[in-house]
């Protein structure tokens, strides 16, 4: 096999890994809905604790505890993993509240908006310059939110919180870079959240009561799988992102919100009045503009690099 063939094979494999990750994320609402009547505040506790347990097992099996201890010796990396943990906590908690209160469609809107939030963060935080098409996409997305607020009559706080928390989480992960692998990263994020999870567990137990031990063994088994359900897509995505081109990852990221939208609209039959369709339509238009612009920019960059190579 030639080097070019090996590289293409790796890229294809990376695309498959990333697609499977987004596919699993797309149907994740259905998994958490099977955990009813356990509430969102209790589920996020088990998600944190069992993610930590599963990651500990993975570190042992892969014999990579050394990487984790090396990260802990770097105060800057530890700081960024703490911030990442807090952001993913907000994302997980709001995501679960949305799913278990009948707002799966609004949750999907958040992940549709996320690429636009990422671009906006690039301008605000990283001082990047936007192309005219990117500004157009941001303007259309803002118009979509205004339509939903004014015409539909509700502020999409779940969607905007999910988009903002995951967008900033991605920015933090960019600051961390490849120095923190996926397993170590999730381990530390879960570890820093463990005190919050334990406090939340006590609060839930003393108010509404814990549901995990009162709903049968089957539900208890499903809850214990929360760590696997959380970690597996993340690890697949990390493996895919290392191999596949950024343009492929950018296109595949729409798989999850599309599947979540289908779940909410056609499986769970959440309401989709005309005002909401208009709002979503504007978001999708913004994403088309953003995607086409990204593909054109990537093609121009490749063309310029090929010219340089020839010279």
Each residue of 215-249: pLDDT tens digit? 677 888 888 899 899 889 988 888 887 777 766 77
Which of the listed ranges 55-59, 172-176, 296-300 does the model predict with the highest average pLDDT? 55-59
In angstroms, the Cα distances linking 58 to 64, 221, 228, 286 are 8, 19, 10, 40
Q: What is the residue range of 194's domain? A: 3-310
Q: Cβ of 269: how many Cβ atoms within 10 Å?
A: 9
Contact 113, 163 (CB under 8 A): yes
Q: Tell me the C-alpha distance between 250 and 298, whole Å.
A: 11
pLDDT in tens, 246-260: 667 777 888 899 999
Handedness of CA 158, 172, 130, 288 (dihedral sign): negative
Is the pLDDT assigned to residue 197 strictly greater than 60?
Answer: yes
Span 279-284, mean pLDDT?
Answer: 90
Contact 246, 101 (CB under 8 A): no
Q: What is the number of domains present in the chain?
A: 1
In angstroms, the Cα distances linking 253 to 21, 31, 33, 237 are 9, 20, 23, 10
Span 84-104, mean pLDDT?
Answer: 94
Q: What is the pLDDT at residue 247?
A: 66
Contact 133, 292 (CB under 8 A): yes
Is the pLDDT assigned to residue 142 strictly greater than 90?
Answer: no
Q: What is the pLDDT at residue 209?
A: 83
């Amino acid at each position: 096999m030639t080097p070019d063939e090996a590289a293409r094979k790796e890229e294809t494999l990376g695309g498959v890994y990333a697609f499977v990750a987004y596919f699993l994320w797309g149907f994740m609402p259905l998994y958490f809905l099977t955990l009813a009547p356990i509430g969102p505040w209790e589920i996020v506790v088990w998600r944190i604790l069992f993610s930590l347990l599963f990651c500990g097992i993975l570190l042992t099996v892969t014999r990579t505890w050394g990487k984790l201890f090396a990260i802990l010796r770097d105060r800057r990396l530890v700081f960024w993993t703490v911030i990442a943990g807090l952001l993913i906590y907000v994302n997980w908690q709001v995501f679960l509240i949305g799913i278990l209160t009948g707002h799966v469609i609004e949750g999907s809107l958040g992940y549709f908006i996320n690429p636009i939030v990422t671009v906006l963060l690039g301008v605000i935080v990283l001082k990047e310059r936007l192309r005219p098409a990117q500004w157009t996409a941001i303007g259309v997305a803002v118009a979509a939110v205004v339509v939903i607020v004014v015409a539909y009559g509700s502020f999409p706080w779940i969607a905007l919180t999910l988009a903002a928390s995951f967008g900033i989480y991605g920015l933090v992960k960019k600051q961390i870079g490849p120095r923190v692998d996926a397993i170590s990263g999730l381990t530390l994020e879960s570890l820093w959240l463990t005190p919050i999870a334990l406090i939340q567990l006590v609060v839930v137990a003393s108010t509404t009561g814990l549901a995990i031990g009162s709903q049968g063994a089957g539900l208890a088994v499903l809850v214990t799988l929360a760590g696997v359900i959380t970690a597996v897509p993340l690890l697949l995505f990390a493996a895919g992102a290392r191999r596949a081109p950024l343009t492929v990852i950018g296109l595949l990221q729409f798989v999850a919100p599309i599947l979540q939208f289908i779940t909410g609209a056609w499986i769970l039959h959440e309401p989709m009045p005309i005002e909401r369709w208009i709002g979503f339509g504007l978001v999708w238009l913004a994403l088309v503009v953003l995607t086409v612009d990204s593909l054109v920019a990537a093609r121009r960059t490749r063309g310029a690099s090929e010219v340089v190579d020839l010279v």
